[in-house]
Amino acid sequence: MINCTANSRAKKTGGIAQNYRAGEGEIFATCPDRCPLKPYPTGTTEIDREYESAVRRAVPRKGVAFLFTHFKPEQWAEKNRPGLTVFNFSADSLRQAAAYIKRGVASVAVVPESFWEDTPSRKVTTADGVKMVRCPDETMGVGCVGCGNGNPLCSRHDREYGIVFTAHGSGKSKAADNDQRGGCYAAFHFVGKHWRDLSKRTQPDESDAEKIRRFAKSLPPRSIFRPHIAGDLGKA
């Protein structure tokens, strides 16, 4: 099930639309078991195809939409292209992200908190010859709404560089170490509370696909929409 917010009041996502997605009784039910940030498996391996198609087309009029997914691009039904929600592959490492970027897939990765201490530039690095840009909010505090002058870097489907996020939150040590399961930032604090509250609800008659279609149509023109602050494309 999903919970949609037209105007987030969170620090990073303030001023944009967003949603959470969970299963009944399980916050990680829509997240693929391959995700290293997921603390335990739930049997989720398949994408919810009806929802995937709906969220692909959940772009506000004259606006943009983008999301992050741990489902590999080989599982996506469609490739990124103009006019659709941009899917960013959440890679397990900078090198994996670089490999997919070379194939034309928008990709992101997480690095340890100490990573930038050993990097000449605190804003840019490279991986296997591919430019990797640190999330501008981490260095300038611009938030998604102020990134890229209204065209957030993560919403650019054809970019030739990756986006790097520094591990944060209570699980940051695990998030930065793929040998340890868990560490998803969304499972903690305020975001975690909202996510858990959502999982305690009963699935309404309206499907996630139907709800996100309706929600996207209700957004004002030129809105920025970021599905899945928590959750993913999986079939719970």
- Supply the pLDDT for residue 174: 65
For residue 30, give both structure tokens.
């829509």
Whether residue 176 is contained in a domain is answered as yes
- Supply the pLDDT for residue 187: 87
> Sheet harboring 224-230: ordered strands across?
2-5, 17-21, 224-230, 64-69, 86-90, 107-111, 162-166, 130-134, 124-127
- Supply the pLDDT for residue 119: 82
Whether residue 236 is contained in a domain is answered as no
Whether residue 97 is contained in a domain is answered as yes
Q: What pTM did the predictor assign?
A: 0.94
Q: What is the pLDDT of residues 65-83, one digit of tens each?
A: 999 999 999 999 999 999 9
Higher-scoring residue by pLDDT: 121, 235: 235
Higher-scoring residue by pLDDT: 36, 177: 36
Residue 4's SS3 state is strand
| Residue 90 near residue 113, CB atoms below 8 Å | no
Tracing tokens 């695990």 back to the chain, one arrives at 174
Whether residue 7 is contained in a domain is answered as yes
Full domain range(s) for residue 143: 2-230
Whether residue 107 is contained in a domain is answered as yes
- Supply the pLDDT for residue 170: 58
Q: What is the pLDDT of residues 163-215, one digit of tens each?
A: 999 987 656 666 566 777 878 888 888 889 999 999 999 988 999 999 999 99
Give the span between the Cα atoms of 188 and 105, in whole angstroms.
29
Whether residue 235 is contained in a domain is answered as no
For residue 199, give both structure tokens.
């999982």
- Supply the pLDDT for residue 10: 84
3-state SS of 96-132 is HHHHHHHCCCCEEEEECCCHHHHCCCCCEEEECCEEE
Q: What is the pLDDT of residues 104-155, one digit of tens each?
A: 999 999 999 889 998 888 899 999 999 999 999 999 999 999 999 889 999 9
**Chain centroid, CA 160 distance in Å:** 18
Q: Domains in the chain: how many in total?
A: 1
CB count, 10 Å around CB of 151? 11
CB proximity list for 145: less than 8 A, separation 6 or greater = 13, 14, 15, 16, 224
- Supply the pLDDT for residue 107: 98
Ranked by mean pLDDT, which of 12-16, 27-31, 189-193 comes out on top?
Answer: 27-31
For residue 23, give both structure tokens.
């299963």
Determine how β-strand 2-5 pairs with β-strand 130-134.
unpaired
Whether residue 74 is contained in a domain is answered as yes
Distances (CA, A) of 141 to 11, 12, 14, 69, 147: 9, 8, 11, 24, 9
Whether residue 134 is contained in a domain is answered as yes
pLDDT(21) > 70:
yes
Of 34-43, 95-104, 165-174, the one with minimum mean pLDDT is 165-174
| Segment 222-232 mean pLDDT | 96
